[in-house]
């Protein structure tokens, strides 16, 4: 393992052990073995190094949906010692231009469909057809010569709270982080894993790292579609599915259940509503794992199906090697049951942001080495973690602290309501007041007073949304998180 647990290192290790196992099954390109994947990535590395000057330290943006070409490009960058910056496919042209400038991209490799967005990016651009042409011109590699270091991966945060920040992901220092996951989630070598979470997001990327380390066969579809996903599980005999919570909601709504559901369905990236966890397990079986984490902290806790059956709202427990502390604003631990900021310590904390001055220092600068997540949460008497919401989302209304999440969960239990989001808006008398945004099921009607009456029946007076808006859909990030600043403009 000369290159350790880098993407290229993992691929080489897998290729050495299982060269003929399918590494990727891509809905358009079919299956490609570990040996073929490594050879194609090496060939692409030669092409990019020779014709585009990609070399150690150079940053290459990758703006692609989930397909084999993205993985080849990631590994090619890793082999060349270049840093791959994974770009969110939902970025607009001005956002992409800003990212390209901040991250000092030399080259952007993108899917053809993103050509209009990429057109103004201040760097060289290569769409997938030109990548294919480049590969066709490059002869297969007889021998590959290593550069002195593998490239790094930079993952952008989701940009829920503002412009996305680039976070340098660390290389796992050993088997520890991997073992800590499979200790809690029963994954075996050679698993067939459908990764529906976007690979450019920290959760999809972690799923890919894990899959390569487990010499799994990764099944990829460019777009998530509930019926096609359930179908792919059956067609390819997938034993695991990695997704984000909103995808589970789409699966449940569509009534899409594979004939043979996977043993493991793991979700992360945003909060998993308790009601959804139960509804999902009632049809797919007790296969659901909820991972809490972030781009900066990686995975911090895991809830197993048994945890979710006991309490569907929990984010579970930290895996081996991870510490969680709930601290008050002065940095002291709060008693069990009380809410404070969730702090995380593990070997996989990010190594700092790659964007401009004024961003928070990397976690190593903190005396205890732990990272404040900006999320508020609490531990119950048995040590299970609950994420109550982001500190930024907490609403202070008339001096009371209100968390939107329980109100949202309650609202989604109304049979007419498909989705609900609750945020704070400025109020001249109370400082802030709650505003609810509801998406109703087709053909359903609700009265604003009915909504307020219903919440008043279950929750404290200050949790009742004074504003109730009916909207056609909620603005979401790629991981399905509602974007409050866009809601305010609706």
Residue 413 to residues 2, 21, 256, 407, 409, Cα–Cα distance (Å): 53, 45, 21, 10, 7
Outline where 236-339 has alpha helix (H).
245-254, 274-284, 305-310
Q: How far is the CB of 315 from ligand ATP (least distance, A)?
A: 5
Backbone angles phi and psi of 318, in degrees to 5 = -65, 140
The three-state (H, E, C) secondary structure of 174-225, written as one string: CCHHHHHHHHHCCCCCCCEEEECCCCCCHHHHHHHHHHHHCCCEEEECCCCC
Q: Per-residue x/- mask for ligand ATP, residues 340 to 369, rule CB under 6 A?
A: ------------------------------
Backbone angles phi and psi of 337, in degrees to 5 = 95, -20
Q: Which of 271, 339, 422, 436 binds ligand ATP (CB under 6 A)?
A: 271
Outline where 126-193 has alpha helix (H).
128-137, 176-184
Q: How far is the CB of 382 from ligand ATP (least distance, A)?
A: 18
* Among 71-79, 136-144, 286-294, 456-464, the segment contacting ligand ATP (CB under 6 A): 286-294
* Among 33-41, 101-109, 191-199, 268-276, the segment contacting ligand ATP (CB under 6 A): 268-276
The answer to whether residues 302 and 185 touch, using CB atoms and an 8 Å cutoff, is yes
Helix-helix angle 202-213:176-184, to 10 degrees: 100
Q: Decide if residue 269 touches ligand ATP (CB under 6 A).
A: yes
Q: Per-residue x/- mask for ligand ATP, residues 383 to 422, rule CB under 6 A?
A: ----x--x--------------------------------
Q: Decide if residue 164 touches ligand ATP (CB under 6 A).
A: yes
Q: Per-residue x/- mask for ligand ATP, residues 287 to 306, rule CB under 6 A?
A: ---xxxxxx-----------
The answer to whether residues 123 and 108 touch, using CB atoms and an 8 Å cutoff, is yes
What the block records as the tokens of 372 is 């404040």
Cα separation of 133 and 127, whole Å?
A: 10
* Among 270-278, 415-423, 424-432, 439-447, the segment contacting ligand ATP (CB under 6 A): 270-278
**Residue placing its CB nearer to ligand ATP in the complex, 157 or 322:** 157
Cα separation of 184 and 479, whole Å?
A: 23
Q: Decide if residue 89 touches ligand ATP (CB under 6 A).
A: no
**Residue placing its CB nearer to ligand ATP in the complex, 102 or 294:** 294
Q: How many CA atoms lie within 13 A of 172 on its CB side?
A: 24
Q: Decide if residue 373 touches ligand ATP (CB under 6 A).
A: yes
Q: Decide if residue 198 touches ligand ATP (CB under 6 A).
A: no
**Residue placing its CB nearer to ligand ATP in the complex, 11 or 271:** 271
* Among 155-163, 180-188, 359-367, 445-453, the segment contacting ligand ATP (CB under 6 A): 155-163
Cα separation of 80 and 44, whole Å?
A: 10
**Residue placing its CB nearer to ligand ATP in the complex, 249 or 295:** 295
Cα separation of 15 and 300, whole Å?
A: 30
Q: Which of 85, 307, 481, 482 binds ligand ATP (CB under 6 A)?
A: 481
Q: Decide if residue 317 touches ligand ATP (CB under 6 A).
A: no
Burial status of residue 8 (CB atoms within 10 A of its CB: 0-12, 13-18, 19 or more): buried
In the complex, which residues of this chain contact ligand ATP (CB under 6 A)? 157-161, 164-165, 202, 268-272, 290-295, 315, 373, 375, 387, 390, 479, 481
């Amino acid at each position: 393992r000369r290159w350790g647990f880098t993407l290229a290192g993992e691929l080489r290790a897998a290729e050495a052990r299982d060269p003929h196992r399918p590494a990727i099954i891509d809905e358009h390109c079919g299956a490609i073995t570990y040996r073929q994947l490594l050879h194609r990535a090496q060939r692409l590395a030669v092409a990019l190094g020779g014709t585009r000057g990609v070399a150690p330290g150079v940053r290459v943006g990758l703006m692609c949906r989930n397909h084999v070409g993205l993985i080849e490009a990631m590994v090619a960058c890793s082999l060349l010692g270049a840093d791959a910056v994974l770009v969110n496919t939902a970025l607009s042209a001005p956002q992409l231009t800003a990212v390209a400038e901040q991250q000092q991209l030399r080259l952007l490799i993108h899917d053809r469909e993103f050509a209009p967005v990429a057109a103004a990016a201040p760097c060289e651009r290569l769409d997938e057809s030109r990548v294919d042409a480049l590969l066709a011109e490059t002869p297969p590699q007889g021998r590959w010569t290593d550069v002195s270091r593998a490239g790094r991966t930079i993952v952008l945060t989701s940009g829920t709270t503002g412009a996305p920040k680039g976070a340098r992901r660390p290389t796992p220092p050993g088997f520890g982080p991997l073992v800590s996951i499979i200790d809690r989630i029963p994954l075996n070598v050679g698993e067939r894993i459908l990764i529906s979470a976007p690979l450019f997001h920290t959760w999809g990327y972690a799923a890919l790292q894990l899959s390569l380390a487990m010499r799994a066969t990764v099944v990829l579809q460019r777009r998530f579609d509930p019926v096609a996903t359930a179908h792919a599980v059956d067609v390819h005999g997938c034993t695991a599915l990695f997704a984000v919570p909103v995808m589970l909601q789409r699966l449940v709504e569509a009534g899409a259940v594979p004939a043979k559901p996977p043993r493991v369905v793991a979700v992360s990236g945003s909060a998993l509503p308790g009601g959804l966890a139960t509804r999902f397990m009632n049809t797919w079986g007790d296969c659901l794992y909820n991972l809490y984490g972030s781009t900066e902290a990686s995975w911090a806790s895991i809830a197993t199906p048994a945890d979710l059956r006991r309490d569907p709202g929990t984010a579970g427990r930290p895996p081996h090697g991870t510490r969680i502390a709930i601290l008050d604003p002065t940095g002291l631990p709060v008693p069990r049951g009380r809410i404070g900021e969730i702090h995380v310590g593990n070997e996989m904390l990010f190594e700092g942001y790659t964007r401009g001055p004024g961003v928070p220092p990397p976690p190593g600068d903190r005396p205890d080495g732990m990272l404040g997540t900006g999320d508020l949460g609490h531990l119950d008497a048995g040590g299970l973690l609950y994420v109550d919401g982001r500190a930024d989302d907490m609403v202070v209304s008339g001096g009371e602290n209100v968390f939107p999440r329980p109100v949202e969960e309650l609202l989604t239990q109304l049979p007419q309501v498909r989705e609900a989001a609750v945020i704070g808006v400025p109020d001249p008398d109370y400082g802030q007041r709650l505003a609810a945004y509801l998406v109703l099921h087709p053909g359903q009607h609700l009265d604003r007073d009915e909504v307020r009456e219903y919440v008043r029946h279950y929750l404290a007076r200050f949790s009742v949304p004074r504003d109730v808006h009916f909207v056609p859909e909620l603005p979401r990030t790629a991981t399905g998180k509602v974007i409050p600043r866009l809601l305010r403009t609706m």
